[in-house]
Chain A
Amino acid sequence: MADTSFDIIIIGSGPGGYVSAIRAAQLGFKTAIVERDYLGGICLNWGCIPTKALLRSAEVFHLMQHAKDYGLSADNVGFDPKAVVARSRAVSKRLNDGIGFLMQKNKIQVIWGEASIEAQGRVAVKASKTEAPKGALGAGAYVAKHIVLATGARPRVLPGLEPDKKLVWTYFEAMAPDRMPKSLLVIGSGAIGVEFASFYRTLGTEVTVVEVLPQILPAEDAEIAAFARKSFEKQGIKILTNAKVTKLDKKSDSVTATIEEGGKSQTITVERVISAVGVTGNIENLGLEKLGLKTERGIIAVDQFNKTNVPGIYAIGDVSGPPMLAHKAEHEGVVCIEAIKGLNPHPMNKLMIPGCTYCWPQIASVGLTEQAASEKKLDIRVGRFPFVGNGKAIALGEDQGLVKVIFDKKTGQLLGAHMIGAEVTELIQGYVVAMNLETTEAELMHTVFPHPTLSEMMKEAVLDAYGRVLNM
């Protein structure tokens, strides 16, 4: 008879859930994790990781097309969409297996199936359609002192633009196309939208991006978003802002979309449509209504340590609200578990969560945008440094990009950093650490950055904010 009683049961094994489970096990809690589809959740299987694999294929393809720029020759450069997708799936599979190993290593019981909370401390699991991994428990009744909801999010559906998975895709279908569509309409220009736009455009698809707001990448600094738009348009991506897709007419192998832009209406016909209009929390069929658990606009309401209004029930990650990012979920999970343990962790500061978008060129940012700082009436200093002034960037053949930093004029506090260009997703963490340590411009200026690296631009941008830029 299997043991069905735990200290902590975590529902959902995405990056938030499985990291919470490991932290709980580290702290000596008897821990179980419930999953219905695939260990690692969306991130590993249908999100962050497989898209990075796709984008890498696109990047290598792009480099091979431009081999001549580097003095190399590569003729008959082509690609096999099936093989590109297969590689992406293989990457996911490998990490998915890795989660199974991590659960085993940390003695975390995997329970396979669909969970709902029957009452405080009681979890009912129904069998799921997918096959359970070896060693997992199945359907049944389980008890736990603490229940952590880490059920994540799913693509948001707008009325009239419902994905049919054939002609109108969500990220699931977009990630595993059977062939490259000749033309593509991407609805929404957030991170998911522009990453797919980049991927398909690089592989030769005619791409149109429609954004309802005046700015693409609405969460990013306006200057960076404008830089991105210019780059995308140069690559041949068509971008419509302040525009709305009002109707999708589906034919057998194409879709005609009606787009309203500034009072004018136009139609375009494309082979496929990607709906990337955001994600919404998975709060259904969990028994939350019965428990009286408070939700707000599709997400679960929590306090700074991710407690819900029902004692013993917690929510972390996408299902507990934005920013809906894997690294936010992971850290939130750790803080939540440590608070349960009574370790008095520091609540997460959401202003210091970096965001990364893996389009080409890459975008990375943390903290306040220049607009947000102005809206807060902060007195700021802004520093900028372009990639064209950096030796390493030129050597890489990546001389297009910008690093921008925003300081509080009075205190020298680093309020925000925004970057666009090659590898900026790997650079941003330098600023994130600086912000968390509460460094001012003085410490950043006093820090030696290695040469020749792209990171030198980070220091130059700081110097520029104080009128001391060296290489421009």
Chain B
Amino acid sequence: MPTNILMPALSPTMEKGNLARWLKKEGDTVKAGDIIAEIETDKATMEYEAVDDGVLAKIVVPEGAQDVAVNSVIAVLAGEGEDVKKIASGAGSAKQTAPVSPSPQRAEGVTQSSPRAPAPAVAHGANRVFSSPLARRIAKDANVDLGRVQGSGPHGRVIARDIAAAKSGAGLRAPGAASAMPMAATPSDQQIRALFADGSYDVVPHDNIRKIIAQRLTLSKQTIPHFYLTIDCDIGKLSAAREEINVAAPKDKDGKPAYKLSINDFVIKALALALQRIPNANVTWTDGGMLHHKHSDIGVAVAIPGGLITPVVRHAETKSLSVISNEMRDLAARARAKKLAPHEYQGGASAISNLGMYGVKDFAAVINPPQATILAIGAGEERAVARGGQLAVATIMSVTLSCDHRAVDGALGAELMAAFKALIENPVMMVV
């Protein structure tokens, strides 16, 4: 019996993905465990392994296809001894295979349909905003996004008076907790484009990473009450220690050192230890209760072409600087190659964003939920400081902690910063 190969859900939130590449062609023999395709998800490119043995009879979704809905059929696998040609020409009754399959009935008998056909129909059904004709017209004139209006008519239908209320900002549904916030309607694409002369720009469609960044960080800024704490750290001792440690690194036979610590590695370690010392800051807000984390899982923002990704160094408080350093090097390399698995970039209690290498003095980062804090690292630079009434030169690094006020209050955040400063200014303490 032929088997339908379905678009997998590679993370719990994944609704659609792009079919980046086919590694098998029609007619190829496939063994369970073979990598047959690469799927581009929200944040990474994932390899897709075959579950069954057989012959790849038909590729339904071509390479490069965008926004393929999870559980739609992407290929058909012929079983042993089955007529590959007959299946390829469209035999109907194939069984399904996919790692996660919440609604298998949707894929029934769609082997021949075009890959993207089912997706828009479903989206249309789910996104329909029930509204009265008058409400639609007034909303259009007032430039109010109907989808954000809380309907007060029967079964939540949006009626004229809801638009009148929305115009004054009431009853507008923003994502999450900010629903009561008065907000001007977002201008349409057309309105924005109209501000620029025709031909003066190119339109580059958003890839998944860009969409996710836009969505998550908008959500973050709209739903998380941010506040910021900036502190200057003297990294004189740290720089000296780093040099000594790196010089002392054992070298392999090619003369390559076993490790090369960066300032950032120290920062990761210091933040991890600081969170252990101030455990009340090592938390995540949920509506039901505060999650107090036992370990320090530190996300580290890595710039990648077209965006950024935040791989997480797990249990960083237990790891030595050299382990953190090597692990970070590997994570960053695989992040740039878009080869991270979801478990490598999801979660974390705090994060680090370092723009010091670009000479940025200090900045404030946007919290990446579910994390409660993020530490923005500026450049270490020589600055004039006053010491005991005398001017002196010191290497100073300004760092700014963004805090989710729901989870971390001002004094608590300040305690975390003090603990971090104590560690980063006296790196010897990290050894304890």
A410 touches B134 (CB 8 A): no
Q: A437-B132, A438-B132, A439-B132 are in contact. Are A413 and B160 (CB under 8 A)?
A: yes
Residue of B nearest to A440 (CB): B133
In this assembly, does A442 line the interface, its C-beta being within 8 Å of a C-beta of chain B?
yes
Task: For residue B313, give the distance in angstroms from its CB to the closest CB of chain A.
Answer: 51
Chain B positions 133-156 with a Cβ under 8 Å from a chain A Cβ: 133-135, 137-138, 141, 153-154
Which interface residue of A346, A438, A443 has the most chain B CB atoms within 10 A? A438
Interface string of A95-108 (1 = CB under 8 A from B): 00000000000000
Pick the contact of A410 from B132, B141, B153 — CB < 8 Å? B141
In the assembled complex, the Cα of A36 lies from the Cα of B134 at a distance in Å of: 46
A438 surroundings in chain B (CB, below 8 A): 132-135, 159-160
Task: For residue A305, give the distance in angstroms from its CB to the closest CB of chain B.
Answer: 15
Pick the contact of B137 from A346, A411, A437 — CB < 8 Å? A411
A411 touches B138 (CB 8 A): yes
A346 surroundings in chain B (CB, below 8 A): 153-154
In the assembled complex, the Cα of A346 lies from the Cα of B156 at a distance in Å of: 12
A437 surroundings in chain B (CB, below 8 A): 132-133
B135 surroundings in chain A (CB, below 8 A): 438
A439 surroundings in chain B (CB, below 8 A): 132-134
B134 touches A440 (CB 8 A): yes
A440 surroundings in chain B (CB, below 8 A): 133-134, 137
Interface string of B108-137 (1 = CB under 8 A from A): 000000000000000000000000111101
In this assembly, does A190 line the interface, its C-beta being within 8 Å of a C-beta of chain B?
no
B133 surroundings in chain A (CB, below 8 A): 437-440, 442-443
B159 surroundings in chain A (CB, below 8 A): 438
Residue of B nearest to A444 (CB): B133
B138 surroundings in chain A (CB, below 8 A): 411
Interface extent on A, as a size class? 10 to 19
Residue of B nearest to A437 (CB): B132
How many CB-defined contacts (below 8 Å) exist between A and B?
A: 28
In this assembly, does A218 line the interface, its C-beta being within 8 Å of a C-beta of chain B?
no
In the assembled complex, the Cα of A346 lies from the Cα of B160 at a distance in Å of: 14
Task: Give the interface SS of chain B, mostly helix, strand, loop or mixed.
Answer: helix
Task: For residue A328, give the distance in angstroms from its CB to the closest CB of chain B.
Answer: 20
In the assembled complex, the Cα of A443 lies from the Cα of B154 at a distance in Å of: 19
Task: For residue A126, give the distance in angstroms from its CB to the closest CB of chain B.
Answer: 43
Task: For residue B144, give the distance in angstroms from its CB to the closest CB of chain A.
Answer: 13
In the assembled complex, the Cα of A412 lies from the Cα of B138 at a distance in Å of: 9
In the assembled complex, the Cα of A443 lies from the Cα of B160 at a distance in Å of: 15
B132 touches A412 (CB 8 A): no
In the assembled complex, the Cα of A192 lies from the Cα of B134 at a distance in Å of: 36
Chain A positions 405-458 with a Cβ under 8 Å from a chain B Cβ: 410-413, 437-440, 442-443
B141 touches A413 (CB 8 A): no
Residue of A nearest to B159 (CB): A438
Chain B positions 141-183 with a Cβ under 8 Å from a chain A Cβ: 141, 153-154, 159-160
B137 surroundings in chain A (CB, below 8 A): 411-412, 440
In the assembled complex, the Cα of A411 lies from the Cα of B135 at a distance in Å of: 9
Interface string of A371-409 (1 = CB under 8 A from B): 000000000000000000000000000000000000000
B160 surroundings in chain A (CB, below 8 A): 411, 413, 438
A442 surroundings in chain B (CB, below 8 A): 133
In the assembled complex, the Cα of A439 lies from the Cα of B133 at a distance in Å of: 5
B141 surroundings in chain A (CB, below 8 A): 410-411
In the assembled complex, the Cα of A438 lies from the Cα of B151 at a distance in Å of: 14
Task: For residue A102, give the distance in angstroms from its CB to the closest CB of chain B.
Answer: 26
In the assembled complex, the Cα of A443 lies from the Cα of B153 at a distance in Å of: 19
Residue of A nearest to B138 (CB): A411
B154 surroundings in chain A (CB, below 8 A): 346
In the assembled complex, the Cα of A411 lies from the Cα of B141 at a distance in Å of: 9
Chain B positions 332-382 with a Cβ under 8 Å from a chain A Cβ: none
Residue of A nearest to B153 (CB): A346
B132 surroundings in chain A (CB, below 8 A): 437-439
Task: For residue A411, give the distance in angstroms from its CB to the closest CB of chain B.
Answer: 6
Residue of A nearest to B158 (CB): A438
In the assembled complex, the Cα of A413 lies from the Cα of B154 at a distance in Å of: 19
Which interface residue of B134, B135, B138, B160 has the most chain A CB atoms within 10 A? B134
In the assembled complex, the Cα of A437 lies from the Cα of B130 at a distance in Å of: 12
In the assembled complex, the Cα of A102 lies from the Cα of B154 at a distance in Å of: 28
B134 surroundings in chain A (CB, below 8 A): 411-413, 438-440
Task: For residue B157, give the distance in angstroms from its CB to the closest CB of chain A.
Answer: 9
Task: For residue A219, give the distance in angstroms from its CB to the closest CB of chain B.
Answer: 25
Task: For residue B146, give the distance in angstroms from its CB to the closest CB of chain A.
Answer: 13
A410 surroundings in chain B (CB, below 8 A): 141
In the assembled complex, the Cα of A443 lies from the Cα of B137 at a distance in Å of: 12
Task: For residue A378, give the distance in angstroms from its CB to the closest CB of chain B.
Answer: 14
Residue of B nearest to A441 (CB): B133
Task: For residue B160, give the distance in angstroms from its CB to the closest CB of chain A.
Answer: 5
In the assembled complex, the Cα of A439 lies from the Cα of B132 at a distance in Å of: 7
Residue of B nearest to A435 (CB): B134
In the assembled complex, the Cα of A411 lies from the Cα of B163 at a distance in Å of: 12
In the assembled complex, the Cα of A439 lies from the Cα of B159 at a distance in Å of: 10
Task: For residue A465, give the distance in angstroms from its CB to the closest CB of chain B.
Answer: 15
In the assembled complex, the Cα of A412 lies from the Cα of B137 at a distance in Å of: 8
B153 surroundings in chain A (CB, below 8 A): 346
In the assembled complex, the Cα of A139 lies from the Cα of B141 at a distance in Å of: 62
Task: For residue A345, give the distance in angstroms from its CB to the closest CB of chain B.
Answer: 10
Task: For residue B265, give the distance in angstroms from its CB to the closest CB of chain A.
Answer: 59
In the assembled complex, the Cα of A438 lies from the Cα of B159 at a distance in Å of: 7
In the assembled complex, the Cα of A413 lies from the Cα of B132 at a distance in Å of: 11
A413 surroundings in chain B (CB, below 8 A): 134, 160
Task: For residue B238, give the distance in angstroms from its CB to the closest CB of chain A.
Answer: 63
Task: For residue B348, give the distance in angstroms from its CB to the closest CB of chain A.
Answer: 43
Task: For residue A396, give the distance in angstroms from its CB to the closest CB of chain B.
Answer: 33
In the assembled complex, the Cα of A410 lies from the Cα of B134 at a distance in Å of: 11
Residue of A nearest to B136 (CB): A440
Task: For residue B7, give the distance in angstroms from its CB to the closest CB of chain A.
Answer: 39
Which interface residue of B133, B154, B160 has the most chain A CB atoms within 10 A? B133
In the assembled complex, the Cα of A411 lies from the Cα of B154 at a distance in Å of: 22
Residue of A nearest to B132 (CB): A438
A443 surroundings in chain B (CB, below 8 A): 133
Which interface residue of B137, B141, B159 has the most chain A CB atoms within 10 A? B137
In the assembled complex, the Cα of A410 lies from the Cα of B185 at a distance in Å of: 21
Chain A positions 177-203 with a Cβ under 8 Å from a chain B Cβ: none
Chain A positions 58-112 with a Cβ under 8 Å from a chain B Cβ: none
Task: For residue A386, give the distance in angstroms from its CB to the closest CB of chain B.
Answer: 28
In the assembled complex, the Cα of A285 lies from the Cα of B132 at a distance in Å of: 46
In the assembled complex, the Cα of A442 lies from the Cα of B138 at a distance in Å of: 14
Task: For residue A67, give the distance in angstroms from its CB to the closest CB of chain B.
Answer: 47
Residue of B nearest to A446 (CB): B133
In the assembled complex, the Cα of A410 lies from the Cα of B160 at a distance in Å of: 13
Task: For residue A366, give the distance in angstroms from its CB to the closest CB of chain B.
Answer: 16
In the assembled complex, the Cα of A346 lies from the Cα of B304 at a distance in Å of: 54
21 of the cross-chain contacts (CB-CB < 8 Å) are A346-B153, A410-B141, A411-B134, A411-B137, A411-B138, A411-B141, A411-B160, A412-B134, A412-B137, A413-B134, A413-B160, A437-B132, A437-B133, A438-B133, A438-B134, A438-B135, A438-B159, A438-B160, A440-B134, A440-B137, A443-B133
Known interface pairs A413-B160, A438-B134; 20 further A-B residue pairs with C-beta atoms within 8 A, sorted by A's residue number: A346-B153, A346-B154, A411-B134, A411-B138, A411-B141, A411-B160, A412-B134, A412-B137, A437-B132, A437-B133, A438-B132, A438-B133, A438-B135, A438-B160, A439-B132, A439-B134, A440-B133, A440-B134, A442-B133, A443-B133
**In the A-B complex, the 8 residue pairs with the closest CB atoms:** A438-B132, A438-B134, A440-B133, A413-B134, A443-B133, A439-B133, A438-B160, A440-B134
